[in-house]
Every structure is written in structure tokens, then in C-alpha cells.
Amino acid sequence: MTALNRHLLHYLGWRLLQSLVVITIVVIGSFMLLHLVPGDMVDVLGGQRGDMDAELMATLRARYGLDQPMLVQLFHYVTGVLQGDLGYSFRNSNTVLSLVLQRLPATILLVVCSVAVAVFIGTLAGVFAARHVHRPIDVIISMVVLIFYATPVFMTGLGLVIIFSVKLKLLPVGGLITPGVDMTTLQLIGDVARHMILPVLSLSLFYIAIYARLARASMLQVLNQDYIRTAYAKGLGTSHVIIGHALRNALLPVVTMVGLQIAELFGGAVLTETIFSLPGVGRLAYDSVFERDYPLILGVLLVCSFVIILVNLIIDLIYTLLDPRVEVSR
């Protein structure tokens, strides 16, 4: 066991080193990319006020360091990041870090719940379809799932709002918490949960389709393996074979897919957060782009890549637990 732990520590160290390289590339890459875009924050301010003259604009640029050469700005930015300073958002009059951290919980809640719901329902539907392959129920599951897959997230979201909030008046239209009401912790959790149902549903319906198709294919493939025949030969019943022998093997591609799609889900969160006016990172990124708030955009990108790298590391660790053939090593 100690040998294994040492292996694991070694592996984690190696992965952290890799992550540092990736984050460095993300920081430099996105910084340069953003500076290729014509216009800066001062242009936007000037456009909004309409009465700004060239002198004032130059003064503002000098004040915010925007008149410096790009490499100098990059150097300032990187030194700041290394000290935990992601910059200051002048438009929001707050540090980027605190802005992003304020918004992160809502997004993480949305993404994690959506992944959990999508994986759970998707796998369940896929395994069920595989057990009844080519029978009517399999075809029906495939069709329903395809419809969800083909419907854009914003349309699902709006449709759900119309049905459940506007017509049936069962669930709130948007937001994270009912404003202006005093609540106990338990009531607060319930309130947030009620607010999260529709966003999570609209984001996960699309992904349920992917996991259902994947789990079905993977299950069908696993059920054809020799070790499934061995399990039956022992005298095990069907449900025992499926749960005890097939499922864990069939889940391997599903777990891989979660890792691959985490980044995409953050992208999907932008749409969902906008539709349901959730105070998340996606909305923050969306707004900061239109306000040319470079430090904020960079900060969002940086924190998101950090979260994605972390999630991928966790997924890889789960994978090594599920499949002993994948052994941790450099």
C-alpha cells in the first residue's frame, strides 16, 4: 500500500507540473489573443459617454497602463497572477478574483448537477436500452434521446420556462434565490434547489442523449465479452451479471466522456445562465466581453481552465480506481 501511495504522489506531482505548463500557455495565449481584438476598454467608455476627447482618452490609457507595449503589459499581468492578483475590473470596481469567486459557486452547482443528472439518467436509459436491444422500448429511447440531442439548449430552456413557470406556475422563472425573503438554512437549500431544477434540466437533457447512446453501445459491447459468459457459466442470474460484471466495465467510456465534456459544459453554462438569469461565471464572461473588460475576461478564462484541469485530474483518478489495468505512473 505504501508503494502504491508513493506511486500516487509521484503521479500527482507530475500531473501538477503538467497543469502548470497548461495554465501558463492559457494565460499567455488568451492575453495575446485578446490584444489582437481592435478597441479597448477606453474606446467603450468613450463610446458610451460620447463626449470624451482624445486627451482624456490618452490620460485614461496611461492611468490603466494600456499605452504600454503589449509585452510589458503581459509581464505586468503574469507577475500579478503569480502573486494571486488577477487584476482589477474598473467597470465593476472590484478585484477580478473576488468577482469570479462570487460567481463560481452558482456555475459549479449548475455544471456538477447537470453532469450528475446526465450521467445517471443517461447511463440508466442506455443500459435499459441495451438490455432490450432492437425491441420497441430501445427504439423509443433512442428516438426521445435524439430529439433532446437535436434541440438547442436555449430552446429547451425557454420551452421548460414556458411550461413549468409561465403556464403551470410550479417553478421560478430565473435567478438563484427568491429575493427579499428571510429563510432558514434548510429553506434556503430548498429555495436554491427549486431555482436550479429548470436550468439543470435544460442543460442536462442535451447531455443525457450523449451518455445514453454511449452507455448503450458500451453495454452492448461488454455483454458480448467472454467474461460475461463466464459469469453466466458460474450460475449467476441476469441482473447480477449486469450489475456485478457488466456495468463497471461499461462505465469506463462514460467516465472518459465526462472528462472530455467538462469544458464544453462550462460553455453550455453561459447559455443556461443567461436564459435563467443565474449569477454565474458564464454570465460574467459574457458581460465582460461586451464591456471589453480585459482583466475580467482573462480572469474568467484562467479560473475556468484551472477548474477544468482539476476536474480532469479527478476524473483520471476515478478512472484508475474503476479500471485496475490503468496503473498510475509517469
Residues in contact with other proteins by the rule CB under 8 A: 225-227, 229-237, 244-245, 248-249, 322-325
Taking the alpha carbons of 68, 71, 76, 80 in that order, is the dihedral positive or negative?
A: positive
What DSSP assignment string belongs to 61-90?
HHHTTTTS-HHHHHHHHHHHHHTT---EET
Nearer to other proteins by Cβ, of 254 and 300: the residue is 254
Nearer to other proteins by Cβ, of 35 and 135: the residue is 135
Smallest gap from Cβ 327 to other proteins, in A, equals: 9
Nearer to other proteins by Cβ, of 90 and 232: the residue is 232
**Cell match 438554512: residue?**
185
Smallest gap from Cβ 141 to other proteins, in A, equals: 20
**How many Cα atoms occupy the beta-carbon half-sphere of 34 within 13 Å?**
26
CA angle 172, 173, 178 (to 5 degrees): 50
Is 286 within 8 Å of 236 (Cβ atoms)?
no
Smallest gap from Cβ 255 to other proteins, in A, equals: 12
Tell the burial category of 23 from Cβ atoms under 10 Å away from its Cβ (0-12, 13-18, 19+).
middle
Nearer to other proteins by Cβ, of 251 and 296: the residue is 251
Q: How many angstroms separate the CA atoms of 26 and 302, rounded?
A: 7
Smallest gap from Cβ 197 to other proteins, in A, equals: 35
Q: How many angstroms separate the CA atoms of 261 and 251, rounded?
A: 15
Pinpoint the alpha helices (H) of the chain.
2-36, 41-49, 54-63, 70-82, 96-131, 136-150, 153-160, 185-223, 226-234, 238-241, 247-275, 281-290, 294-322
Smallest gap from Cβ 248 to other proteins, in A, equals: 5
Smallest gap from Cβ 129 to other proteins, in A, equals: 17
Smallest gap from Cβ 241 to other proteins, in A, equals: 10
Smallest gap from Cβ 237 to other proteins, in A, equals: 6
Nearer to other proteins by Cβ, of 222 and 296: the residue is 222
Nearer to other proteins by Cβ, of 196 and 222: the residue is 222
Nearer to other proteins by Cβ, of 125 and 223: the residue is 223
**All cell numbers assigned to 324:** 485496475
Tell the burial category of 330 from Cβ atoms under 10 Å away from its Cβ (0-12, 13-18, 19+).
exposed
Nearer to other proteins by Cβ, of 5 and 83: the residue is 5
